[in-house]
Structure formats: C-alpha cells, structure tokens
Structure 1
Amino acid sequence: MTLHTGRHFLQIPGPTNIPDRVLRAMDMPTMDHRGAEFAELGFAVLSGMQRLFRTGQPVIIYPSSGTGAWEAAIVNTLSPGDKVLMAETGQFAVLWRGIAEKFKLDIDFLPGDWRHGADIGQIEAHLAADKTHRIKAVMVVHNETSTACVTPPLEVRKAMDRVRHPALLMVDTISGLGSLEYEHDAWGIDVSVAGSQKGLMLPPGLGFNAVSEKALAVAKANPGMRSYWDWQDVIAINKAGTWPYTPAINLLMGLKEAIKMLEEEGLDNVFARHKRHSAATRAAMKVWGLETQCQDPQAHSPALTGAVMPEGHDSDHFRKVVLENFDMSLGTGLNKIKGKVFRIGHIGHFNDLMLMGMLSGIEMGLDLAHVPHRSGGVLAAMDVLKGRDVVPMPKVAVA
C-alpha cells in the first residue's frame, strides 16, 4: 500500500472537487421536508436553478443521478414506437441511446468518430428528409464527457428551424451546466438534462430537467406510464416549496450554497475560467507531443481534455503510475477508447495553482511511465495563464 500525505488530487471530469463551503452547508441536521423552513430552501434552489439554466420555465429537481434525468426526459414526452434522432458523439450518447432502446423508441443514430461533436449538417439533412415529421425528438449531448468534444445546442436548433421541423430538442448538459455557456430559453431547448456532480460542484445525487412550454404540453398529452419521474406531479407540489416524495434534503442545502458560489464569481467569469484552463492544458499537451482526442479546434471542451496515448502505451497503466506516485486520479478512457485515452478534468471548483499541480503530476508521470514526450508542457501552460504567447513547437520525433 502506497501512503500519501496532503490532499488527493481528483482530476477526473466528474464527480468533481467539492468546495469546503458546500461540504459545510451539507453538514447540517436534517429537517422536516413538509415544514416552512424547508419550503424556504426549496424555493431558493428552484429559482436558483432557473437562473443557472437561464430559463423562466420550470426546472424539475430529482433525487437521482443524471441517468435518472435522462430517463425522465424520455418517459414524460415519448412513447414506445416514437422515432427519435440521436448523434453518436461518445460513450454518453451511446448510454442515452441504450435507455431509449429500453423504452422501445425507434432510433436513428447518426454515426460519429468520437473525435468531433455532432455533425449539424447530417442532423439537418435527416430532418429535411423527414417530410411527414415522424421524428418526435432530436437528442444530443452538449459536452461529451468521454471525448471532450462540444456540440453547440444553438446550432442544432438553427438546423431544426431552417427545415421547420417540429421535433423537441433535448440536450444532455450534465457536464456542461455550470462550466460552459448555456441558454435553455434563448437557444430554443425543450428539455435540458443535468446532474449535480460536475460543474455544480456537488456530490452525485441530484438530476435536473429544465422544460419548455412546448415540452410541458407534449408531456400532458403523452399517455405513457410514469410515476416517480412525472413532471406534472413534481411541478404541482413545487408550488409549496416541497416535493411529492422525500427530497435529498442535505444535497439541496449544498446546492443552495453552490449556486451562491457560482453567482458570486459570476457565470461569465466561471465560463471564462474554464476556457483558460482548457487552453492551458492543450498548450501543455502540444509541447508534450500528445494528441487531443477532440480533433475539431472549435469543439474543444472547456471542462476537460482527452489525451491520446502514443501507440504501444496503455493509458490505464499511465493512470496507475500517476495515482501510485502522486495520489492523483485521472479519468479513464471509455468503451472503444479504453486504454487509448486518459481524461483530464479541469471542471468545477478549480483554480490556476490546482491546474499547475495537476499538469506537473502528469508531466512527471509521463517520465515515470516511460511515455515518449517532450518536457516543458507545464511551462507552456504557465505562459497561457500569464497571458503570454506560446511559440508553437516544431513537429519532431520523440524518443
């Protein structure tokens, strides 16, 4: 057993680091979830989540993971046999498709290479060909956590509008909310799906649906069976500041504090911070000579970076070396990129010095694991953080 001192470096892209303020907010006696004190908390988090989603529409908060919020989006609006359009952007798009299959939806799954966001042109062409409007929903992942590629929801909405398709637009922003710009109302999103354990800086255990007026109308007309996930039941009792079942009381206490922290920093500043850390991380990787999993310069995620290992080197072995020597957890590659990619989380409660410590651990780990690379990546990241121009490294062979 390797012994370590100091704090563990949790650099996976979720669950993310929990601020001490949030931990202290949750470290409280529980309360009567039907009483006036809890109602005050309930109203505070419901209105706070509307501000984070940037919506005037209802936000439903479930005691669940993001997977539950995926399911809620489906069962409220769709029925077996309904046709939906989805895009293969990575493992989380694949998992959402798996839930859709279990509810016997008719799925058009647009293939992808796991190195780009969704192909907007392909989505538009598919919708244009759907002359009878059989497609009931377009379902995309905003920030694909397995590949570090972003699909811009506004561009999907514009494509839908260009062909005047009436389908619902459903967006998984589980790792996007609180770390990337997001506009539920202004971007014309019908159902947004999110979770607590990413940019919201909380433990896992809360799932969210933000829903448009159109989505609510579709849900009211949908005869499909549902109980726990029913939007109408939750929205009705939310008017009293509580839930139709026992809510995750202490997580809601933490959520109230997390919202306060995000708004104290200012959401625009939060988004800019994530972009800076992403740019600094990519600068380090360029000097090291490592490829990014995301190959579209316009689609790099501000929340995480996927690093492709050189041929013949296993990313999980490298992660093990880093964990054992530096007490730092990096994200594993998932599904078809297992062993080929490690994921660097720079999301949530995070600052410049935490980033530098993480990148130092990676650079030392590359040495210890005998992964071919150039030194100096940490210095390149420092230059980005200090606002200096980084001189591009020539493409040379590494030993």
Structure 2
Amino acid sequence: MSYAAGRHFLQIPGPTNVPDSILRAMSAPVIDHRGPEFAELGRELLQGVKPVFGTTNPVVIYPATGTGAWEAALVNTLSPGDRILGFETGHFATLWREMARGFGLEVDFVPGDWRHGASPEVVADTLAADTAHAIKAVCVVHNETSTGVTSRVPDVRAAIDAAGHPALLLVDTISSLGSIDYRHDEWGVDVTVAGSQKGLMLPPGMSFNAVSEKAMEAAKTAALPKTFWDWGPMLAANQRGFFPYTPNTNLMYGLKEALRLLNEEGLPNVFARHARHAEATRAAVRGWGLEVVCLDEREHSGSLTAVLVPDGVDADKVREVILDRFDMSLGAGLGKLAGKIFRIGHLGAFNDLTLAGTLAGVQMGLTLAGVPLDRTGIDAALERLQSE
C-alpha cells in the first residue's frame, strides 16, 4: 500500500486505539519499583482497579497478556486430574480448553455452534447430575472475541446455585471488561480474567485476576505447579504496594490514566456508549442485507460485531481490499470461521464519528470487493447515531 494520509483505522477487537493521554502517561521516566513512590502508585492502582471489576476483593495484576491470566486462574484453584465444565462458544473458549488439558485437567466441553453463548440450562442439568461434585470449576468466556457473542454470566451463576453445586465460576472478560456491564461480586464470580489491551485502552502486556474469598480458599489446596502465577506471593507483596518481581511500571502509569478516563465518563455511561455503537453497527450490517454471527438477541456483544459474508465470498479478501484502499484493519475470522467472517471492533476510545467512518469504509470495501449489498445500509446506523 502506498503512503496514506491521515491516521490508520484500527478497528480490530483489540488491541484497541490507545488515547493520547495514556500514551503521554506511559512516557514518564521509569521509577524504582522498590521505592516509596512506586509503593504509592501500586496501592492506588490495586484499589482503583477494583470498581472496574465490580469487586471489593483483591485484583492481582500480572506483567503478561490475557493468556497468562487464563493460566493463573487455573493453576491457583485446581489440581491435576480435576474436572472442569467448559463451553465451545468460540475460538478463545477452545484455546482455554486446550490450556486446561495441557495441565492434566479433565474438560467436559459442551459442543457449540459459535453463535450462542454458554447455556445456563446445560450448566444446571450437568451440575445437578454431578452428585459426587467431581466438577471443580465452570469456565465461561463472557464476551467471545472471535464471534461477538456475550454469555449470560448471571444466569450461569444462578444455574450453579440452583443445582446446589460447589463448583468455582471462572470467567474470561478479556474483551468485555471496561466495555460491557460486569459485576464480579454481585454475579458470584470466583476468578475474573482480564487483559489491558481492549476496554482498558492500554497496549498489550498487563493482565488481571479478580479473586473471590472462595477462590482464595481453593488456592490453599490447589496442586497445579505455579511460581510466576502464584497468588500468595503477589497478594503478600501487594499489601505494601509492591510486587514479588519486576512489574511493567510504565503500563501502570497508563492504567492510572485509563482509570481516570473511565471514571470521568462514568462506567454506566461507558457501557451505554458501547451498547449504542453495537446497535448502530448491527443496524448497518442488517441494512446491507448481511448477517451477524450472534443469533440470540440477549447475547449481542457491545465490544464487537462479527459479520458473515455470503457463500462464495472470502472474508479475508474483503479485509484486504479495505486495508489497501482505506487503511483500515478489521478483525479476521478465527478457527472454523476463518475466511467466513470479518469482525468490526467498536470498543475502547471510540466515538460516533469514528464508528461512522468505520462503517463507511466497510460499506465501500464490500462494494469494491463485489459483495452484493444495499448501499443505503449505512443510513440505519447513522439514524441510530443521531438519536439520543
């Protein structure tokens, strides 16, 4: 592609665009991570991040990607041979299953069509039948980044409770935290997994575990091997604002600014903004005569929209045209959806005009790629954006 004036449109579902104020915050000089100035920063962030998770319990911060936080959730709560219940909601749920199997865990993996979230009814039936309480944890991806489907975590929790089952609830919020309403404590989640590079508007490299008291109790007997991920040394050092090994200091500066931005807008407003942009995007997709991946109206993602292309169309070729002509990156189809869908990210530092430009680029790209569509489709999105 020849030189393109203007900025690149990064409309993948993460990493997302990093606001200028966060970039400036991260450019501060590195400080001594064993000194008093850092301890003050550490204590502030360890408390300040809790409301984003909807918790008053500890949140562990790792210098790692979300994959590391997946591993931390498993190794701190489970032992070799333990059984867990998971759901094939998409590519990332499948990867979490593979990680669990690699640790010698037995995974009861409920097959899915990648167009629906985790089934609370299956949770209820499976746990009710597990009278020996062999299943130690239920693993759910809250917002499946590969499909744009959001599982109904409160309903999953209710199903676990209705079965009277002691299984832990582990939830991946990597592409929902800071974008979609989430309540760790209220929903009875035991470990929440998150990453920095999506709703928190940071670069990749920081991940999180929000931990319930029940999860902390499970950690006392969990026998999977761990050193780097061990909650114990982390939480002990965190009491003084420190970490047991070198933290990612400058990302912590960025996190401080990200929390300021989220609090300034107000989390309810952040969630409403994402929901509104998602509605407008779906209106455009349907106006074009295309189909979104998610089939349940209760499970549409506020973070991204996955779009099915017609049979015979290569979604990656569409993405290639859009990148080449309009300097805009869209998310690829992953796993068994490769070449069949593209994903529009509308999360993080994002406003109405950014979405309008994004959808205009998608519509033009679809037209240039020869995809049959109604070219007035974008009008439905613009109408939604003009409404209160």
Task: Please tell me the TM-score bracket, short chain as reference.
Answer: over 0.9
| Distance (Å, rounded) in 1 between the aligned partners of 2:376 and 2:21 | 35
- Give the AA of the match of 1:326: F
Matched with 1:353 is 353
- CA deviations 1:349-370 (Å, max 9, x no partner) are 0000000000000011111111
1:42-72 deviation line (CA, Å, top 9, x unaligned):
1111111111111111000000000000000
For 1:49 and 1:96, the matched residues in 2 are separated by: 24
Moved more, 275-284 or 379-388: 379-388
CA distance in 1, matches of 2:2, 2:125: 55
Q: Does 1:291 align with 2:291?
A: yes
- For 1:368, the equivalent position in structure 2 comes to 368
CA distance in 2, matches of 1:367, 1:137: 47
Instruction: Tell me the equivalent position of 1:382.
Output: 382
1:225 shift after superposition: 2.3
Shift of 1:222: 1.9
Shift of 1:181: 0.5
Residue deviations 1:233-264, cap 9 Å, x none? 10000011010000000000000100110000
Question: Does the aligned pair in 1 maintain the 2:119–2:156 contact within 8 Å?
Answer: no
| CA distance in 2: counterparts of 1:377 and 1:262, whole angstroms | 32
- TM-score (structure 2 length as normaliser): 0.99
Matches within 5 A, 1:298-337: 298-337=298-337
One-letter amino acid of the structure 1 residue matched with residue 214 of structure 2 = K
Cα distance in 2 between the residues matched to 1:311 and 1:373: 13
- Structure 2 stretches lacking a partner, 5+ long: none
Distance in 2 (CA, whole Å) between partners of 1:119 and 1:222 is: 27
Amino acid aligned to 1:337: L
Residue of structure 1 in register with 2:90 after alignment: 90
Q: Which amino acid aligns with 1:190?
A: D
d(CA) in 2 for partners of 1:56 and 1:300? 28
Please, which moves more after superposition, 320-329 or 121-130?
Answer: 121-130
Matched with 1:262 is 262
Q: Who is 2:221 aligned against?
A: 221
Q: Which residue of 2 aligns with 1:185?
A: 185
Residues 252-261 or 369-378, more deviating: 369-378
| Aligned equivalent of 2:100 | 100
- Corresponding position of 2:158: 158
- The residue matched to 1:169 in structure 2 has which SS? strand
Residue 2 of structure 1 deviates from its aligned partner by 2.1
Matched position secondary structure for 2:298: coil
Letter in 2 for 1:367: T
Matches of residues 1-399 of structure 1 in structure 2 within 5 Å? 1-387=1-387
Q: Distance in 1 between matches of 2:20 and 2:376?
A: 33
CA distance in 1, matches of 2:79, 2:314: 43
| 2:117 alignment partner, SS class | coil
Distance 1:178 1:377 in 2: 29
Q: Tell me the distance in 2 between the aligned counterparts of 1:91 and 1:36.
A: 43
| Paired residue secondary structure (1:221) | coil
Q: Structure 1 CA distance, aligned partners of 2:384 and 2:157?
A: 34
Distance 2:286 2:224 in 1: 51
User: For 1:242 and 1:22, how far apart are their aligned partners in 2?
Assistant: 22
Q: Give SS of 2:294's match.
A: coil
Shift of residue 114 of structure 1?
Answer: 0.3
Q: Is the 2:75–2:223 contact (alpha carbons within 8 Å) kept by the matching residues of 1?
A: no
Task: Map Cα deviations across residues 282-324 of structure 1 (whole Å, 9 max, x no partner).
Answer: 0001110110011111111011000000111000000000000
Deviation sequence 1:149-203 (CA, Å, 0-9, x none): 0101111100000010000000000111000001100100000000000100000
What is the identity percentage for the equivalent residue pairs of Structure 1 and Structure 2? 59
Amino acid across the alignment from 1:163: A
1:386 CA drift (Å): 1.5
Deviation at 1:378, TM superposition (A): 1.9
Separation in 1, partners of 2:247, 2:125: 43
Q: Is the 8 A contact 2:101 2:107 kept in 1?
A: yes
- TM-score where L is the length of structure 1: 0.96
Structure 2 CA distance, aligned partners of 1:122 and 1:152? 13
Residue identity in the other structure for 2:236: A
* Aligned-pair CA distance for 1:218: 0.6
Aligned-partner residue type, residue 323 of structure 1:
L
Give the distance between the partners of 2:380 and 2:154, measured in 1 at CA.
33
Q: Distance in 2 between the 1:121 and 1:218 partners?
A: 26
Query: In 2, distance between residues paired with 1:79 and 1:27?
Result: 41
Considering only aligned residues, what root-mean-square deviation do their CA atoms show, in Å? Answer: 0.8
CA–CA distance in structure 1, aligned partners of residues 2 and 118 of structure 2: 42
Query: Partner of 1:77: helix, strand, or coil?
Result: coil
SS in 2 for 1:61: strand
Deviates more, 1:120-129 or 1:262-271: 120-129
1:79 offset after TM fit, Å? 1.2
Q: Distance in 2 between matches of 1:206 and 1:245?
A: 14
Distance 1:152 1:43 in 2: 32
Question: Equivalents in 2 of 1:224, 1:179: separation in Å?
Answer: 32
Distance in structure 2 (CA, Å) of the matches to 1:90 and 1:286: 22
